[in-house]
Structure 1
């Protein structure tokens, strides 16, 4: 093998289209732009969403609702998930690092514990928010809730 013998793989390199180089090239004349009209001219650009004068979609569809910029998104974890984790890992303290290491949350998430299911073990749960039913369920089993 020599450097002068190197070649690209078969079919990996294409020749560029030489447009507007005479009729003999097959791409002379209109240079693949069709006949007349704004699209055939140089300097043509169309506004995004322009539909030829027809009322564009973003103006036909009515506006409704809004996005609250102050909304806080929580990652919900139910009590039955805590119960399953307590049984499988024999842990009694559930904090953010524990949830992160078990793939339940990402580093920027906020955690909210919800009340679906029952917890039988005495556990200590650290989270950003709790539902009332989750707090009562955890404390009924002798556990403790800590708001971060």
Structure 2
């Protein structure tokens, strides 16, 4: 095979439609644009979403919602999940290794859901006010 012998697959290339080249071409005179009107004029067209003066769809529908891109870096852990862990000192790395939070998570917060009876020390992990009470009653604490 030589560079000068390479050709595109048959049917892959086709010549561009040439309009306005006389009556014999079948695309002469109006060149496929029809007669009169905005769409037949050079430079005459409307903006995207224009509905002829009717209120466009994107303006008729209400604005709604917002999803923060920072949420993917936050995670929650329940008290019952801490109860099932075999570790006494819990930090973000331990939770990632246990599969309780995703790898890209940076901030973890313990929420009050379920029971906790064993002593747990949290390092670099936040807790809600209710969860903090349960952790301290069980003999645990939160290290800064």
Band of TM-score, shorter chain: 0.5 to 0.7
Correspondences of 1:106-121 after superposition (within 5 Å): 106=104, 110-121=107-118
Aligned to 1:20: 20
**Alignment partner, residue 140 of structure 2:** 143
Change (3 A) 1:93 1:54: same
Which residue number corresponds to residue 34 of structure 1? 34
Could you give the per-residue CA deviations for residues 29-81 of structure 1, whole angstroms, max 9, x where no partner exists? 22222221011111123134322122334554567x887xxxx8573413244
Residues in 2 aligned to 1:91 and 1:10: alpha-carbon distance in whole angstroms:
69
Q: Distance in 2 between matches of 1:100 and 1:133?
A: 24
State the aligned residue count: 137
CA distance in 2, matches of 1:18, 1:83: 75
Q: Secondary structure at the match of 1:116?
A: coil
C-alpha contact (below 8 Å) 1:76/1:114 kept by paired residues: no
Please, which moves more after superposition, 73-82 or 23-32? Answer: 73-82
Distance 2:123 2:11 in 1: 60
Structure 2 distance, partners of 1:6, 1:19, is: 31
Match in the other structure for 1:78: 77
Aligned to 2:91: 94
For structure 2, list consecutive stretches of 5 or more residues without a partner in the other structure: none
Paired with 1:3 and 1:66, the residues of 2 have a C-alpha distance of: 55
2:124 corresponds to 1:126: yes
Q: Are the aligned partners of 1:78 and 1:117 in contact in 2 as well (CA < 8 Å)? A: no
Q: Deviation at 1:124?
A: 1.6
Report the aligned-residue RMSD.
3.6
Question: 2 CA distance for matches of 1:58 and 1:35?
Answer: 31
